[in-house]
Amino acid sequence: MAEPWKSDLWFTSPWNFLPEVTKGFSFPKQVKIHDTTLRDGEQQAGVVFTKDDKIRIASMLDEAGVHRIEAGMPAVSWADAEAIKTIAEMGLKAEVFTFARCIVDDVKRASEAGVKGIILEVPSSQHLIQKAYKWPLERAIDSTIKATLQAKAEGLYTTFFPIDASRAEMTWYLDLIERIAREGHMDALALVDTMGVLTPQAVQYFVKRTKERIKKPLETHFHMDYGLGVANTIVAMLNGVETVHTTITGIGERAGNVPMEDLVLSLQTLYGVDTGIESAKLYPLSKLVRELADHPIPPNRHIVGDHLFDIESGIPAMFYKNLMEQGPDQLTEMFPYQPRLVGQNPPRILLGKGSGMDSVGIWLDRIGVKATNEEMQELLLQVKNRSLEKKGMLDEYEFRKIAEAVVSKRPAGDPKRAKS
């Protein structure tokens, strides 16, 4: 693309692609999205997915082009085990993974589910082992080694998942991972920020120090407790990390996981990196997951908010009117990306306290009523007053009543008098 910051579908900043900005970037040749909506996403308090829910979500994730689906944790319940097995047998293009504790029986259950890979929980810090697990260190190490060897025996691709790695002492942590990998089995290592406490600068350090010691593919699993998970994931990718863990709309433990929508769209439009995900599926996917999870989000949430592209204010309504006269492809002059890029609905002009004359004109055209400039000014005043009274937007019925009342004040014989 000659101008990666500008296309028919988006218009971002050319500064993002300046040589002095992109110097040193080392994105992987292929990006893999590992979605854990069905496991970590369901760990959000109050979220429950049935077997049918999981199958619907997995099917849509696969249609969107997600590379790996973490279908759940068999040890949670018999229903989860059945759902994982069914998803693994669906013939999806995506690889199906599962999650397990560092317990041999958990690994056996994962194998029985027929998945390709396993995300295997690994203890990662002295304080976590002593205070959370309440295990002697050697027990934790021994249990993990046995579990990873069982995973190897079962033929499972094994990703180490060191819980709370970001709060461990680095050298002690890497020594531990090396020992478990040496005496057990590891195909890949996830850089795990369980509590979402890393800064982007610390992520760069995390990747660098890990690469010095661990010669295996790296993955990321970051949380959003400080809202930095997306930025941290991108920093890790800039340093060569290939596989990144996400959930739909960021559902997950506490503040949630890295939202797939945010990551995919940022990579595509801000960095020129194609993840292979069909971006037009992002909004429909979010709608499905939110419905099944009973998970409300702010209506103006970026990318997937149900009212993200609604317009009330007068100046943006004027922009919209003028741009649409030149063609809908011009909308990137007022939006960073076209709604259709993420599967969103087209913009809507709403009527409220912040509306202007152009908004009134658009709505008059919609209901087929003509008005003079003076009448439009009266209409606008009444729209604002009504919006203040109800503390909200006007619907078509309310606007029609106001418009007909204002127009009906004309003398009966006035040729300018209009009817709907």
**Cα–Cα dist 240/97, whole Å:** 22
Note whether 143 and 103 are within 8 A (CB). Answer: yes
The dihedral region occupied by 103, where left means phi > 0, alpha psi between -120 and 50, and beta the remainder, is beta
pLDDT at 307 over 90: yes
Could you report the per-residue pLDDT of 146-179, keeping only the tens digit for each?
999 999 999 999 999 999 999 999 999 999 999 9
Other C-beta atoms lying within 10 Å of the C-beta of residue 38: 29
Copy the structure tokens of residue 135: 């295990």
CA 143 to CA 104: how far, in whole Å?
8
Look up residue 330 and give its two tokens. 């011009």
The rounded distance, in Å, linking the Cα atoms of 349 and 253 is 37
- Cα–Cα distance between 191 and 218 in angstroms, integer? 7
CA distance between the termini of the chain:
49
- Judged by DSSP in three states, 70 sits in strand
417 has a pLDDT exceeding 60:
no
Closest-CA residue to 400 (of 362, 364, 372): 364
- The residues with which 97 forms a beta bridge, in sequence order, are 70, 117
CA trace torsion 25, 240, 277, 46 (10° rounding): -120
Percent of the chain having pLDDT more than 70?
Answer: 96
| Tokens of residue 333, six digits | 């002059």
Going through 111-242 in order, the beta strands assigned E by DSSP cover 117-122, 157-162, 188-193, 218-222
* Extended strands (E) in 71-144: 95-100, 117-122
d(CA 249, CA 227) in angstroms, rounded, equals: 13
- Cα–chain-centroid distance for residue 169? 30
Evaluate if residue 255 carries a pLDDT over 50: yes
Q: What is the mean pLDDT of residues 236-264?
A: 97
Q: Give this prediction's pTM.
A: 0.92
Largest CA distance in the chain: 96
Strands (E), 227-339: 243-246, 310-311
Give the integer Cα–Cα distance in Å for 13 and 20. 14
CATH assignment, 14-293: 3.20.20.70
Find out whether 243 and 188 touch, Cβ atoms under 8 Å. yes
**What pLDDT is attached to residue 130?**
73
Nearest to 284 by CA among 292, 273, 276, 272: 292
In this prediction, residue 419 has a pLDDT band, given cuts at 50, 70 and 90, of very low
> pLDDT digits over 384-394, tens only?
999 999 999 99
Q: How far apart are CA 245 and CA 193, in angstroms?
A: 11
Task: Say which residues have a Cβ less than 8 Å from residue 139's Cβ, sequence separation at least 6.
Answer: none
Handedness of CA 204, 165, 252, 79 (dihedral sign): positive
Q: Residue 27 phi/psi, 5° resolution?
A: -65, 145
Rg (CA), the chain: 27
Is the dihedral angle over the CA atoms 342, 348, 351, 356 positive or is it negative?
positive
Cross-strand partners of 6: 11
> How many Cβ atoms sit within 10 Å of the Cβ of residue 320?
23
Q: Is the separation of the CB atoms in 124 and 160 below 8 Å?
A: no
pLDDT in tens, 46-95: 999 999 999 999 999 999 999 999 999 998 889 999 999 999 999 999 99
> What is the average pLDDT across 392-416?
81
- pLDDT tens per residue across span 270-304: 999 999 999 999 999 999 999 999 999 999 999 99
Residue ranges of the domains in the chain? 14-293, 310-407
Which residues does 157 contact at the CB level (< 8 Å), separation at least 6? 95, 97, 116, 117, 118, 187, 188
At residue 92, the 3 state secondary structure works out as: coil
Q: Alpha carbon 243 to chain centroid distance?
A: 15
Q: How many residues does the chain have?
A: 420
Tokens representing 323 are 């741009």
Reported as type and span, the H/E element at residue 33 is strand 32-35
pLDDT of residue 127: 74
